[in-house]
Amino acid sequence: MLSWLADQKIEEAMRKGEFDDLPGKGKPLELEDLSHVPAELRSAYKVMKHANLIPEELSLRQEMLTLTDLIAACQHDGERRELRKRLDEKTLRLNMLAAQQDWNSNPSYGRYESNIRRKLTGL
C-alpha cells in the first residue's frame, strides 16, 4: 500500500514537471566506488565527502586503488611508467602522513592495515 502511494506521488510530480529542472538532468549518474571504505563506515564517508570533509588519507587511498587498477589494465609501457610514478608519489605521501599521525599505534588502522596492503599490492 505504501509503495503504491509513493508511486502515485512520483507520477503526479512528473506530470506537474517538478523533476524537469533538476541539476544533472540528461547526464549520466556518477556512481561511486566505495569498495575501499569498510561497509560500516560508508554512510559516514558519503556524508563527509559531500561536505568536502574527507581526510587526505582516504582520498589518497582511493586514488592509489584507482591507479593500481589502471596500471593492471594499461598496455602502453610509457603510460604504465607514468601511472607507477604517480602511484609511488601517492604512496610516499600516505606514508608521510602515517608517520606524522603515528597510525601504527592507532587500533582502527591496525584492523584494516592488512586489507589495505592486500588491496594496494594486489596480493
Q: Count structural domains, the chain.
A: 1
Domain that holds residue 99: 42-123
pLDDT of 77: 92
Q: Is residue 6 part of a domain?
A: no
Q: Is residue 4 part of a domain?
A: no
pLDDT of 79: 92
User: What does the block give as the cell for 35?
Assistant: 569498495
CB atoms within 10 A of CB 62: 20
pLDDT of 110: 62
pLDDT of 112: 67
Q: Please, what's the largest Cα pairwise distance for the chain?
A: 59
Q: Is residue 25 part of a domain?
A: no
pLDDT of 122: 65
pLDDT of 106: 62
Residue entry with cell 561497509: 39
The residue type of 29 is L
pLDDT of 37: 74
Exposed / middle / buried, residue 72 (Cβ in 10 Å: 0-12, 13-18, 19+): exposed
Q: Is residue 5 part of a domain?
A: no
Q: Is residue 67 part of a domain?
A: yes
Q: Is residue 121 part of a domain?
A: yes
pLDDT of 87: 93
pLDDT of 34: 75
Q: Is residue 120 part of a domain?
A: yes
Round to whole Å and give the CA distance between 98 and 93: 9
Digitized pLDDT (tens) for each residue of the chain, 123 residues in all: 678 888 888 899 889 988 888 887 777 766 677 776 788 888 887 888 778 777 888 888 888 988 998 999 989 999 999 999 999 999 999 888 887 776 556 666 666 666 776 777 665
In order, the DSSP letters of 83-118 are: HHHHHHHHHHHHHHHHHHHTGGG-HHHHHHHHHHHH
Q: Is residue 16 part of a domain?
A: no
Q: What letters, b where the CB count within 10 A reaches 16 and e where it falls short, cover 17-46?
A: eeeeeeeeeeeeeeeeeeebbeeeeeeebe
